[in-house]
Each structure stands twice: as structure tokens, then as C-alpha cells.
Amino acid sequence: MRRNRNFGSSARDIIGYCSARNNLLTFNLMISKGIIMENIKNYNGRIPACGVFCGGCPTFIRDKKPCSGAEINFSRCEKCTTFHLCCKEKGITHCYECNDFPCKKFKSFSKRWLKYGQDFIENQKMLKEKGRDYFLKHFNDKVMSK
């Protein structure tokens, strides 16, 4: 975790700093530079419709009964009415393939994940522009650099 003299070292401090100044641009820059993702594990499995990097998901990284990721815990994602079933109905794999991307539902959901260091809209753009392999390498490189 990089430190800055203007705020503490925890993700909560950084989020508070950015929120107090209503500065989403600063927050997104910190995410893109890997400053916020404190807890992250290696993951090379399936990327779910929402575009989460499972290695940074709080359910995946928790100590007690962690999720094994979208690749192994396929049934969890299959039940996701927010994104998986919506994509399935439209015959697509990821939300970025939808003509309505990013829809209101996706934007709302994405905002809630910023505190975990993932910007789902940017994740979807990365998947679209760079592909699955680059996406996984991008996040797994953050694990290696810790």
C-alpha cells in the first residue's frame, strides 16, 4: 500500500478522503494505479458477467468459508439475477456486450464495489478492449507486486 501525506494508509481512509472532496476521478486514479486493492489473491478462473476479478472479491479473500471463485463456484454466479441471468437472456457473456451498457442497474452496483478497489465499468472496458488474458494478468500482477 502506497502512502500519501494527505491521508492514512487504509483503504477506508483513502475512500473517506476522496468522498469528502467528492472526487471520484482521484479515487478511480488510485484504483487504476493499484493503490487501494489491499487484499487481493491470485485468481485465473472464469470471469463472471459482472466483470469482477474474483481475487479481489471480499467473499473470495475472507478466511472463513471463502468462495472458490466463479470458475469452481459456478452455481453462485448462475443464480445472479442482477447480471448473469440478464446476460443469458440476451445471449451474451459479459455486460459490456449489451447495447444498454452501462445500464442504471450496472452503474448502481458498480458504485458499491469501488470500496473494494474494483471499478466494474473499467473492468468491463478492459475485458472488451484487451480480453480475458490481459484482464487476469492485470490483476494478478498486483498480487505479485504486493
* Per-residue model confidence (pLDDT) at position 24: 52
Cβ count within 10 A of residue 86:
19
Which portions of the chain are predicted below pLDDT 50? Answer: 1-11, 20, 26-27, 33-35
Q: Give domain status of residue 79, yes or no.
A: yes
Write down the pTM of the prediction.
0.71
**Would you call 116 helix, strand, or coil by DSSP?**
helix
Q: Give domain status of residue 107, yes or no.
A: yes
* Structural domain containing residue 100: 37-144
* Per-residue model confidence (pLDDT) at position 25: 53
Q: Give domain status of residue 28, yes or no.
A: no
Q: Give domain status of residue 53, yes or no.
A: yes
Q: Give domain status of residue 132, yes or no.
A: yes
Question: CB within 8 A of 132, min separation 6: which ones?
Answer: 47
Question: Of 39, 99, 49, which is closest to residue 76 (Cα–Cα)?
Answer: 49
* Per-residue model confidence (pLDDT) at position 13: 52
The total number of structural domains in the chain stands at 1
* Per-residue model confidence (pLDDT) at position 4: 37
Q: Give domain status of residue 1, yes or no.
A: no
* Per-residue model confidence (pLDDT) at position 126: 96
Instruction: Tell me the CA distances in angstroms from 136 to 6, 115, 125, one per residue in order.
Output: 32, 20, 13
* Per-residue model confidence (pLDDT) at position 142: 84
What's the gap between Cα 82 and its chain centre? Answer: 15
Q: Give domain status of residue 12, yes or no.
A: no
Q: Give domain status of residue 10, yes or no.
A: no
pLDDT tens for 7-36 read 344 445 555 555 545 555 544 555 554 445
